[in-house]
């Protein structure tokens, strides 16, 4: 699971527990100016992921790490699709972040409020 927060002018995604190991990342910091928005998407795990490099993918268990598909890089850290939040990015290393959070509705609201300033 991840914790997403707004710190100053940045969106900060911190991996918790073993998700640091599975995703091979502990923290991502993205300028809010590069965040296009966030949505809930419980069906996201059913979508093709592309090529995993590096990361972990055990279908039905965990999807974590960097996945390459159609010229895009997407960061995943999800075990429970019902708690998945998709953060769309522009001009960043990743085009999307797909992460599991404790309260997806609250995170989406926080990201949307922070990006509308």
The pLDDT-based confidence of 112 (bands split at 50, 70, 90) is: very high
Angle at 113 between CA 111 and CA 117, to 5 degrees: 115
Taking the C-alpha atoms of residue 42 and residue 44, their distance in angstroms, rounded to an integer, is 6
**pLDDT tens sequence across 73-84:** 999 999 898 999
Task: Please say whether the beta carbons of 104 and 85 come within 8 A.
Answer: yes
How, if at all, do strands 96-100 and 72-78 pair?
parallel
Domains, the chain, with CATH or none: 2-115 (2.30.29)
**pLDDT tens sequence across 41-99:** 888 777 767 787 888 887 778 888 999 988 899 999 998 989 999 999 999 999 999 99
- The pLDDT, as a whole number, for residue 48 is 65
Q: Out of 2-6, 44-48, 92-96, 107-111, which region has the weakest mean confidence (pLDDT)?
A: 44-48
Q: Is 89 exposed, middle or buried (0-12, 13-18, 19+ CB in 10 A)?
A: buried
């Amino acid at each position: 699971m991840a914790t997403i927060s707004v710190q100053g002018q940045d969106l900060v995604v911190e991996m918790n527990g073993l998700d640091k190991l599975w995703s091979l990342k502990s923290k991502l910091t993205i300028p809010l100016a590069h965040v296009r928005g966030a949505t809930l998407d419980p069906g996201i795990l059913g979508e093709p992921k592309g090529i995993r490099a590096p990361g972990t993918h055990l279908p039905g268990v965990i999807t974590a790490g960097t996945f390459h598909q159609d010229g895009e890089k997407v960061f995943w850290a999800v075990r429970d699709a019902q708690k998945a939040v998709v953060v769309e990015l522009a001009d960043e290393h990743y085009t999307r972040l797909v992460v599991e959070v404790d309260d997806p509705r609250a995170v989406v609201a926080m990201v949307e409020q922070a990006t509308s300033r």
